[in-house]
Amino acid sequence: MKGVHFMSRFFSKKRSGLKSYTPGEQPSLGEFLKLNTNESPFPPPHSAVKAASSHVPHLNLYNDTKCTRLTEVFARHKDVLEENVIFSNGSDEILAFCYLAFCDDEGGICYPDISYGFYDVFSELFLTPCEVIPLDKDFKINPEHYYNKGKTVLIANPNAPTGIALSLTEIEGIIEHNRDNIVIIDEAYVDFGAESAAPLTKKYDNLIVVGTFSKSRNMAGARLGYAIACKELIADLNRVKFSFNPYNVNSITQAIGSASIEEDDYYKECIGEVIAARTEFVKALDGMSFNTLPSLANFVFTTTDKMEGELLFERLKEHKILVRHFKTDRLKNHLRISIGTREQMQHVAKTLEKILGGAK
């Protein structure tokens, strides 16, 4: 990012150590096979494209701050009431609202040491004390480590960048053992094979399930996220939203979000393709002596002792394949590779074979 190392003398002293989130590169379209930010390889459904263009002539008007239509169709789809839903400009924004609403200084927040990078950024931005809880040796979350925390618990399920999921029973155990603090389950990848905790929001007043249209609904660029929770928690999140940016979800995004709800068959097909591609790709990796974590997400986290992670990342880039590499000690020999179409993943497997075949 250009200019990010400059800082004026006016910047918040309390935040001077803030390390902003580093998004995966977004190179110009077409240059790379882009498998670095867990986007869907498939476009939004036609009906969403149509809904978007029919809204353009009305952009002179402000958008609906309550996302009325979208809330109606989405609540029905998720089998909850409208009062149990809030939308946001991507799910990152809902997470920010949660920090503002539920993470006071005294309590703070806890989450796994290896998880979505934005959690650390928010903890610094909002000056929230955070406890990072190490994953087990096999990169798994041990649910009991999250019992009786007395602070907000935040877990991505499936976790990123590991792709490993907890069962619904394990999630419920964590909620049961934190009745006096909030548990946030970030379900960005849940549709690729894990179980959603959304139905548990009817039973527990301390649970917030956060989701996004970015991954399994093929709409990362539209920026649409949501939370499902009991009506009091949703009211709290609305209190924050209406104190920050009531117009957070633009009208085109609301329109395509609503249209997309009617397209379950299309999404089932897309998700089915991604899961099939994942299965095939993992098998190909197994055949090349990669060690791959058991993923229920639209990416895999994998390592080989034939080549260091960073070098392999660079070699793939030379072959115009962009994946994600993290430089921290425990992750630096792994690559996170988003799952594209089956053809794309066959191409990646072949390229890996070529690169490693030539490795000493």
Angle between helices 118-125 and 91-102 (to 10 degrees): 40
Exposed/middle/buried for 117, CB within 10 Å: 0-12, 13-18, 19+? middle
Question: Is 189 or 290 the residue whose CB approaches ligand PLP more closely?
Answer: 189
Nearer to ligand PLP, 224 or 284 (CB): 224
**Candidates 11-19, 89-97, 278-286, 300-308 — which segment interacts with ligand PLP by CB under 6 A?**
89-97
Interface pick for ligand PLP out of 92, 172, 191, 263 (rule CB under 6 A): 92
**Which sign, positive or negative, has the C-alpha torsion 288, 291, 296, 299?**
negative
Euclidean distance between CA atoms 227 and 5, whole angstroms: 34
177-196 residues in contact with ligand PLP (CB under 6 A) are 186, 188
Closer by beta carbon to ligand PLP, 94 or else 348: 94
Is 160 a binding residue for ligand PLP by CB under 6 A? The answer is: yes
Peptide bond into 44 cis (omega under 30): no
With helix as H, strand as E and coil as C, how does 93-121 read? HHHHHHHHHHCCCCCCEEEECCCCCHHHH
Token couple for 56:
């353009």
Residues whose CB falls within 8 Å of the CB of residue 173, separated by 6 or more in sequence, listed in order: 143, 144, 147
Stretch of 141-149, 212-220, 254-262, 339-347 lying at the interface with ligand PLP (CB under 6 A): 212-220
For residue 161, the minimal CB distance to ligand PLP (Å) is 8
For residue 217, the minimal CB distance to ligand PLP (Å) is: 10
Residue 202: CB minimum distance to ligand PLP, A: 23
Count of residues touching ligand PLP (by CB under 6 A)? 12
Minimum distance from residue 63 beta carbon to ligand PLP (Å): 18
Other Cβ atoms closer than 10 A to 45: 22
**Residue closest to 162 by CA, chosen among 129, 139, 185:** 139
Candidates 45, 163, 225, 340: give the one binding ligand PLP (CB under 6 A): 225
Q: Which stretch binds ligand PLP (CB under 6 A): 8-16, 51-59, 86-94, 347-355?
A: 86-94
Site for ligand PLP, rule CB under 6 A: 90-92, 116, 156, 160, 186, 188, 212, 214, 220, 225
